[in-house]
């Protein structure tokens, strides 16, 4: 039996749709580290809504003074270290709780609808070269060499209750010597009406960071263009030690300088910025004086 013109039209329409879907699948966000089956990732969470997978780390990872040899990749967009978390009810940071949390996008993710969560560790090869180069670019003066990298990727995952949307993000843990860093990389992220938290938190919240606006799901699509290091879609943090504890930087001004005079204030800020970047803050750090008051030396 031959097809009626209407069903021929429908068939054509369907094949065009599947073609555009394939094309989309091939373009990974530019800031992403290699991921997925092409990169040889492991996929353990594939069908369940709430799930978690334990990874035994090839190298210990130091997170604000605590050393971990395992981590849990939790389907709802975050990593924990002591125990898995199936928590889809998002708490805003700082939690002042008893767990360290790294949350590229903690919200109610549901891969039983669509999406793939995968991960891989590296202790040699191109990914270490890439991590070494990236860290030295974002955090100059540390002379860093990466010896271990873990990449966990949420590739075009669905949110619970709003099937049809696709959201992609990645967390990269990097260590070498006594230093450790994390990247949170964002691709296209859909609006969600659930609560969201992006950033990190620690035991008793002695150190924490919230990507601005990330508790509000309607600003999530902006993540792809946001950054703390001038690389759209990437947030980078040094996490081995609490730099928040830097409460002062000592600087000696060898001659009297009138800070209200144009140029002087910029020079002082630049020196101060360099000192802070040397201690591990990202090089994109911006400093501003809120008020300038004329005082006698
Ligand atoms: C995860 O999957 C890999 C194979 O892809 C398997 O070797 C490993 O045992 C799985 N781990 C868990 C915790 O299920
Ligand atoms: C997670 O998924 C695996 C299979 O992929 C399953 O064996 C395990 O029970 C699930 N865990 C939870 C907590 O749902
Ligand atoms: C991981 O660390 C715990 C305690 O910190 C230790 O008991 C355990 O043996 C370590 N496991 C590995 C594989 O190193
Ligand atoms: C954090 O929790 C502890 C109890 O674990 C409490 O004593 C402390 O006041 C809390 N701090 C804040 C800022 O809420
Ligand atoms: C967190 O706070 C609790 C209660 O104040 C305290 O007993 C505990 O030692 C703190 N933990 C750390 C790692 O600071
Ligand atoms: C979330 O963001 C939208 C748009 O930026 C704003 O209209 C709304 O009031 C925000 N909601 C909360 C709870 O901050
Ligand atoms: C991100 O930036 C690109 C290039 O400027 C722009 O085309 C795109 O609309 C932006 N996306 C969002 C969600 O703001």
pLDDT in tens, the chain (297 residues): 344 444 444 333 333 333 333 334 457 899 999 999 999 999 988 877 889 999 999 999 999 999 999 999 999 999 999 999 998 889 999 999 999 999 999 999 999 889 999 999 999 999 999 999 999 999 988 999 999 999 999 999 999 987 789 999 999 999 999 999 999 999 999 999 899 999 999 999 999 999 988 887 888 999 999 999 999 999 999 999 876 545 566 666 666 666 667 777 777 777 777 667 666 676 666 676 666 566 666
What is the per-residue pLDDT for 110?
Answer: 92
CA distance 16 to 10: 10
Site to substitute for ligand 2 among 43, 51, 72, most atoms within 8 A of C-beta: 51
Q: How many CB atoms lie within 10 A of CB 271?
A: 13
Determine contact, residues 170/153, Cβ cutoff 8 Å. Answer: yes
Ligand 1 atom with least separation from CA of 43? 5
pTM across the whole model: 0.81
What is the per-residue pLDDT for 2?
Answer: 44
Ligand 2 atom with least separation from CA of 53? 1
| 216 CA to centre of ligand 6 in angstroms | 6
Ligand 3 atom with least separation from CA of 69? 1
Q: Take residue 272 and report the two structure tokens written for it.
A: 């101060």
Q: How many CB atoms lie within 10 A of CB 108?
A: 23
CA pseudo-torsion sign 203, 206, 210, 215: positive
Cβ within 8 Å of residue 112, ≥6 positions away: 47, 48, 49
What is the residue with the minimal CA distance to atom 11 of ligand 6? Answer: 216
Determine contact, residues 64/241, Cβ cutoff 8 Å. Answer: yes
Strand partners, 80: 72, 101
What is the residue with the minimal CA distance to atom 5 of ligand 1? Answer: 42
Closest CA to 53 of 99, 98, 132, 119: 119
Closest ligand to Cα 216: 6
What is the residue with the minimal CA distance to atom 11 of ligand 1? Answer: 44
What is the residue with the minimal CA distance to atom 1 of ligand 2? Answer: 51
| 225 CA to centre of ligand 7 in angstroms | 6
């Amino acid at each position: 039996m031959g097809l009626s013109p209407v069903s021929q039209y429908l068939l054509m329409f369907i094949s065009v749709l599947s073609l555009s879907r394939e094309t989309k699948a091939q373009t990974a966000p530019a800031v992403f580290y290699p991921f997925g089956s092409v990169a040889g990732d492991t996929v353990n969470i594939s069908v369940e809504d709430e799930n978690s997978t334990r990874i035994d780390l090839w190298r210990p990872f130091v997170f604000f003074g605590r050393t971990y040899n395992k981590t849990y990749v939790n389907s709802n967009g975050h990593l924990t270290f002591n125990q898995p978390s199936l928590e889809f009810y998002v708490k805003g940071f700082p939690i002042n709780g008893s767990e360290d949390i790294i949350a590229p996008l903690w919200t109610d993710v549901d891969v039983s609808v669509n999406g793939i969560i995968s991960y891989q560790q590296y202790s040699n090869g191109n990914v270490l070269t890439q991590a070494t180069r990236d860290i030295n670019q974002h955090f100059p003066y540390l002379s860093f060499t990466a010896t271990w990298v873990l990449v966990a990727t949420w590739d075009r995952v669905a949110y619970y209750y709003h099937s049809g949307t696709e959201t992609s993000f990645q967390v990269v843990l990097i260590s070498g010597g006594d230093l450790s860093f994390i990247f949170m990389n964002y691709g296209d992220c859909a609006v969600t009406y659930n609560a969201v938290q992006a950033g990190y938190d620690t035991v008793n919240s002695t150190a924490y960071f919230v990507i601005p606006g990330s508790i509000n799901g309607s600003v999530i699509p902006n993540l792809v263009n946001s950054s703390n290091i001038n690389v759209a879609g990437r947030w980078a943090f040094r996490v081995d030690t609490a730099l928040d504890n830097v409460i002062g930087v000592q600087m000696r001004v060898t001659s009297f300088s009138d800070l209200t005079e144009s140029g002087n204030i910029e020079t002082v800020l630049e020196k101060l910025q360099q000192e802070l970047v040397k201690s591990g803050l990202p090089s994109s750090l911006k400093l501003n004086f809120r008020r300038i008051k004329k005082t006698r030396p």
